[in-house]
Structure 1
Amino acid sequence: MLAVIRLSIVVLIPHPSIWFRTTVNVLGLRITVNGHPTPPPSSSSFSGILFVCNHRTFLDPVVVSGVLNRRVVAMNYSLSSIWEALSPMPTFRLSRVRKLDEERIKRGLATSDLVPYFYPTTARGWKALDPVFFNINLAMEYEITFLEKLPVESTCSHGKSANNVANLVQRQLATYLNFENTNFTRKDKYSLLAGNDGTIV
């Protein structure tokens, strides 16, 4: 019943920042924010920020949006249409076609900040129930840490390859979380988790 009430609020109050404040104030969500949230771009020609999460749950983009108190769009590969409809924030799907997704992300960043709805190696078939499990918890608690923004000289716009930038971001996340980097490729991870190489025909 507790989860039903809390999730009903998410559906009835679709704006994540309002949902976030309501949940914090009325339902007792304890939130800890570390670091300094990145302010929105100040220029009139908006160029959004891509927030990269380690994604323990499906709620990460919602919490990021709530803490920032501004529009954030969640990108995903395989979020079900049901959860897309119930999501308190805008979402859009990626296709796994590199050039097509690159254009979609560029268009997305032209109007808003983006947060990927992707998953770490803890993903299994229960991921869609993350919001239910979280809202069942009598004492909800969330901790979010904002790391430093990636320097411009470490980005693709300064000639770095996409692989090098991605590896750098992953190393920074791993260092902060005290994780050990592996040499697993995307195909290796899909093989371990799903029994296939992640290719969609």
Structure 2
Amino acid sequence: MQQKYHKYASLTKIDNQVLQNKTLLFNVEETLLKSFSMFPYFMLVAFEGGGPLRALVLLIVYPFMCILKEEMRLKAMIFICFFGIKKARFTIGRTVLPKFFLENVGDGSLEVVMRFGRKVGVTNLPRIMVEGFLMDYLGIEDIVGREIKVLGGYYTGLLDVGVVNDEQEMIFAHIMSQSQKVGICCINKCFQTPPFTYCKDIYYVSKDDKKRWNNLPRDKYPKTLIFHDGRLAFMPTPGDTLVMFIWLPFGFILSISRVLITILLPYQLSLPILAFIGLRYPTSMPLSLKHIHMQHTTSSINKIPKGMIYVCNHKTVLDSIYISYICRMNCSLLFYGISKLSAFLSPLNTIALTRNREKDAAIMHKVLRQGRNIVMCPEGTTCREPYLLRFSPFFAEISDDIIPVALQLNVSMFYGTTASGMKAFDPFCLMMNPWPSYYVQFLDKLPEACTCGSGGRTKFEVANYVQDVIGKALGYKCTALTRKDKYSILVGNNGLVN
């Protein structure tokens, strides 16, 4: 079939109605991504799916693979990253990779691609790596990619070429039967190879076009990114990955030291030492709240117990510890599902709740009557992105003495939370960051008019009010999503821990 070649920029001049009647075939990596190197995405697969040892092997071998031709280098990385990985447990393409793909999308490409009616993504990567990104976040269901052979439920790391060819023929036979014209976006010479040879018109992207692109802003994502998993908090380019592995031994020692200092030393000693070795915890507290804290201290001295409930958004398992350290007050941590190791190492008094409302309410009333403060995270689970999940209204029934607390966390290397990994390692992974920064903002105590007891508000109104107050303080968007929504997306269960 004779092809006509057009400059990519001319697509913006075509009427939208004409575009909707066309079917677009595009190379995913070379059309959507502003800058593309296969290594970071395979490193994410190796580290998150196979562990640090597999990732180290990939990093060591990669310089030698650069000598190979592109196709051979791709096959070598696929083998190293996928060999021996259980297919049923491979969820990285849906839970980890989409975040890094979205952060690399160019604004000039996606706008044009999304204007077409039917879109077919063609990728050089294994289909399992890109289908979560394309289907869940861009709404592109027709994907032509490589398949990896499976033996006994485990990936062999070898490409199943026959499956790929059969799928290509099936998809494009259907396309050609439905569409008279086919548009395509590509770069370099990929339009000279199947399946792009089926196309009548070719629109290509030049390197100069890509230089003018900016990274797609978060508010322009076709679907909002709220939940994602994985331990790595940075794009693992070869240089950054090398720095990470050099840092790991020091980070491990630093993490253990920080945990031991927190457990063994009193506030007065541990806080300055932790600040000296890299922990940052800037805080702000209104004058009215400082007055309340002084009253609480006086009441404790006079043996007039009156505990308060600190309600905060949930960033990591260490939220309560940070709040307690900054307040320098006796706080209790109430939890449903933290690991036994985290509960054992916690310097706070940890109390396990039962998910029985009457029993849990009795436990909390007892703690408050003893003059101890309670720190609660009504979201029920952590959220890494600037969104607040729905607040459980249980705390509103317990007391009117409620203080909202807004938390922000910045990490540069490792996330201190996980949905599918081992939660016992969460505090250690957080402490392995060179300079983890917790920002704690204490807000004004809840007005009596906005409480259940004195104000006559329903528990749902109070919970929504507190969520809104914290959201405005952080600049976060409030959602109606829950723990069950998060875990159903990332893990496939309801997030309950026995």
Q: TM-score, normalised by structure 2?
A: 0.37
**Which secondary structure does the structure 1 equivalent of 2:375 belong to?**
strand
| Distance change (3 Å), C-alpha of 1:20 and 1:89 | farther
In structure 2, give the amino acid aligned to 1:32.
P
- The partner residue of 1:124 within 419, 424, 432 is 419
1:7 is the counterpart of 2:259: yes
RMSD: 2.6
CA distance in 1, matches of 2:312, 2:338: 16
Cα deviation, residue 16, structure 1: 5.3
* Deviation sequence 1:126-149 (CA, Å, 0-9, x none): 544332123222234321111111
CA distance in 1, matches of 2:277, 2:447: 38
Cα deviation, residue 150, structure 1: 0.7
Whose strand fraction is larger, Structure 1's or Structure 2's?
2
Matching of residues 10-159 of structure 1 within 5 Å: 10-13=262-265, 15=266, 18-24=269-275, 26-36=276-286, 38=290, 39=293, 41=296, 42-43=298-299, 44-111=303-370, 112-116=372-376, 118-122=380-384, 124-126=419-421, 127-158=423-454, 159=456
* Deviation sequence 1:174-194 (CA, Å, 0-9, x none): 222222222335544453355
| Distance change (3 Å), C-alpha of 1:64 and 1:190 | same
CA distance in 1, matches of 2:497, 2:256: 35
In structure 2, give the amino acid aligned to 1:107.
K
CA distance in 2, matches of 1:134, 1:65: 18
* Deviation sequence 1:156-177 (CA, Å, 0-9, x none): 2122222221111111112222
Cα deviation, residue 67, structure 1: 0.8
Q: Which has the higher contact order (CA 8 A, sep 6+)?
A: 1
Number of residue equivalences: 199
In structure 2, give the amino acid aligned to 1:156.
C
Percent of paired sites with the same residue: 31
User: What residue number does 2:469 align with?
Assistant: 172
Which structure is larger by alpha-carbon Rg, 1 or 2? Answer: 2
CA distance in 2, matches of 1:135, 1:188: 28
Q: TM-score, normalised by structure 1?
A: 0.84
Query: Which residues of structure 1 form unaligned runs of 5+?
Result: none
CA distance in 2, matches of 1:84, 1:106: 21
After TM superposition, which residue ranges in structure 1, 4 or more long, deviate above 4 angstroms? Answer: 15-18, 197-201
**Which secondary structure does the structure 2 equivalent of 1:119 belong to?**
coil
**Which secondary structure does the structure 1 equivalent of 2:438 belong to?**
strand
| Distance change (3 Å), C-alpha of 1:199 and 1:129 | closer
CA distance in 2, matches of 1:109, 1:132: 30
In structure 1, give the amino acid aligned to 2:262.
V
CA distance in 2, matches of 1:6, 1:171: 34
* Deviation sequence 1:11-66 (CA, Å, 0-9, x none): 323x5565334323x42433211233551535443221111111211111111111
**Which secondary structure does the structure 2 equivalent of 1:163 belong to?**
helix
